[in-house]
């Protein structure tokens, strides 16, 4: 995969909009100088400072490295997360160049966001908005959930990788994030599942209904679903309250994994 100089997490032109290039260079140079001094003071941490800061050419590279390692798991290591999110941003730039009529869409959905969580919250909020709960309110809930449990963002990256790898009709990492309702429904479920576990069950059920109405996918927020999941086409998928779906599973449209009627045990997998 390509490693574009402007990466997904923070790209140079976005930083320069918020801070003049000269000031950005000063900040980054100060960070590097501090890292060198810290490495000299504590040789035991020299390799850490080198990996986290000194080997990077810009702040965007350092941020992408740090977030990828924070969100990494045995299922999807840090390098894979970085490659997925970097390719999404690179694809969006190329798509915007190829089709100027959609440039503002790609900018709003992907290019203006500093990280994957921000893009996900924007997409889900706009997909699930209603007169009862506008997009801004839904986005606040999504961002609250991601702040409390960043593993959901890593799970989303795993799901993107799963779709890109398994679906022959998908040739871009950005496609699930932009267009696939199965992916959107799955990420909305993850928010509802977090709400359910936090005791905010009324809001979790409300979100479940919005997902069902919007995407024709009905996943109970109490269901347990792993990562690396592909909901192919997705229309008519039903996942019941006691269902358990483990990691690296693909589900086709019109599949029902219903609850057993029991309060524990006997789950579907």
pLDDT in tens, 150-172: 899 989 999 999 999 999 999 99
The pLDDT > 90 percentage for the chain reads 64
Residue 193 has pLDDT above 90, yes or no: yes
228 with 161: CB under 8 angstroms?
yes
Residue 244 has pLDDT above 70, yes or no: yes
Residue 6 has pLDDT above 80, yes or no: no
Q: Which has the higher per-residue pLDDT, 71 or 53?
A: 53
Give the least confident one: 61-75, 114-128, 191-205.
61-75
Residues forming beta bridges with residue 219, ordered by sequence position: 239
- Helices 116-128, 181-197: axis angle to 10 degrees equals 100
Our CA angle for 125, 131, 132, nearest 5°, is: 85
Report DSSP letters for 3-35, one per residue. Answer: --SS-SSS-HHHHHHHS-HHHHHHHHHHHHHHH
Q: Output the pLDDT for position 80.
A: 60
User: Could you tell me the domains of the chain?
Assistant: 116-257 (1.10.3130.10)
Residue 200 has pLDDT above 90, yes or no: yes
Residues contacting residue 183 through CB under 8 Å, at least 6 positions apart: 159, 160, 163, 176, 177, 231
123 with 135: CB under 8 angstroms?
no
3-state secondary structure 142-182: HHHHHHHCCHHHHHHHHHHHHHHHHCCCCCCCHHHHHHCHH
Helix (H) or strand (E) holding 219: strand 218-219
The pLDDT > 70 percentage for the chain reads 81
pLDDT confidence tier of residue 23, bands split at 50, 70 and 90: confident
Residue 208 has pLDDT above 80, yes or no: yes
List the structure tokens of 93. 């730039």
Residues forming beta bridges with residue 218, ordered by sequence position: 238
Give the pLDDT mean for 121-128.
97
Q: Output the pLDDT for position 11.
A: 39
Give the pLDDT mean for 6-28.
55
Average pLDDT value for the chain: 85
pLDDT in tens, 77-88: 555 666 777 889
């Amino acid at each position: 995969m390509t490693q574009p100089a402007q990466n997904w997490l923070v790209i140079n032109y976005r930083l320069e909009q918020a801070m003049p290039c000269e000031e950005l260079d000063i900040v980054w140079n100060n960070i590097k100088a501090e890292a060198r001094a810290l490495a000299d003071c504590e040789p035991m941490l020299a390799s850490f400072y080198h990996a986290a800061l000194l080997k990077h050419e810009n702040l965007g590279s350092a941020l992408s490295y740090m977030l990828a390692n924070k969100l990494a798991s045995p299922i999807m290591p840090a390098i894979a997360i970085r490659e997925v999110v970097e390719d999404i941003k690179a694809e969006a730039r190329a798509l915007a160049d190829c089709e100027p009529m959609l440039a503002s869409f790609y900018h709003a959905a992907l290019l203006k966001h500093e990280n994957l969580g921000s893009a996900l919250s924007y997409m889900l909020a706009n997909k699930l908005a209603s007169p009862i709960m506008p997009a801004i309110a839904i986005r606040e809930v999504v961002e609250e959930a991601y702040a409390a449990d960043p593993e959901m963002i890593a799970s989303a990256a795993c799901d993107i990788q799963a779709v890109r790898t398994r679906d022959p009709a998908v040739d871009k990492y950005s496609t699930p994030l932009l267009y696939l309702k199965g992916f959107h429904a799955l990420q909305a479920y993850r928010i509802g599942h977090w709400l359910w576990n936090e005791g905010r069950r009324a809001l979790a059920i409300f979100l479940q209904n919005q997902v069902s109405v919007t995407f024709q996918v009905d996943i109970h927020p109490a269901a347990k679903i792993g990562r690396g999941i592909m909901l192919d086409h997705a229309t008519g998928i039903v996942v019941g309250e006691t269902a358990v779906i483990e990691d690296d599973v693909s589900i086709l449209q019109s599949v029902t994994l219903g609850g057993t009627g029991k309060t524990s045990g006997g789950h579907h997998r």
